[in-house]
Structure 1
Amino acid sequence: MAQHLGAMLSIDEIDRTHRLGARKHVGSKPRDIIVKLVSYRARQKLYNVKSKAKTPGHYRRVYVNEALTRHRSEIFYDARKLVSDKYVDSAWTHDW
């Protein structure tokens, strides 16, 4: 996926990957995938193209998100709520 979006990550820049949670029954929502990259530069390669995954096509319903602490996740939740209530135009995280 990273190559297709233009991130140009090599396999050596990926430290490890795994799925979250236990396997569920056939037809259920796919489990999230955690990807740990070896460096900040590798992470930035992926983050710089992550918005391309939102365009209609093969990667619909694919999201690339930062792993946030609980506190920062709660703050970001509040910010997204302000967006949905139309108090602000948008909310996002970057190097948080």
Structure 2
Amino acid sequence: MKLGELRLVLVFVHGLLAIAGTILFILSIKYQIDANKENSALLKRLITAVNKNSRANRAFRGTCTMKSQRKWKEEEEEGYMDEEGRVEEGRVDEEEKDEDAA
């Protein structure tokens, strides 16, 4: 094989590799765009779920009376409630003591 023929084969192989690399690059961009669309749809569903939950929480707070809201807030501040909103066992309100005594 002469040097000229070897150079021609190398140029041809180099051209094929460049074309294959370009095709792979274009395909990777296409798949990234598809993945971004899917992630965007999932993000929209998540935002919708969070908004529905927020509306439900506001509706629940709206149904509570002001007196019960005040009592819950006082119990939270005094430490009668744990982080999930349950009254801790073993705690007795002053009002309950007065009712038991009467």
Normalising by structure 2, what TM-score? 0.23
Normalising by structure 1, what TM-score? 0.24
Q: Give the structure with the higher percent strand.
A: 1
Bigger Rg, which one: 2
Q: Give the structure with the higher percent helix.
A: 2
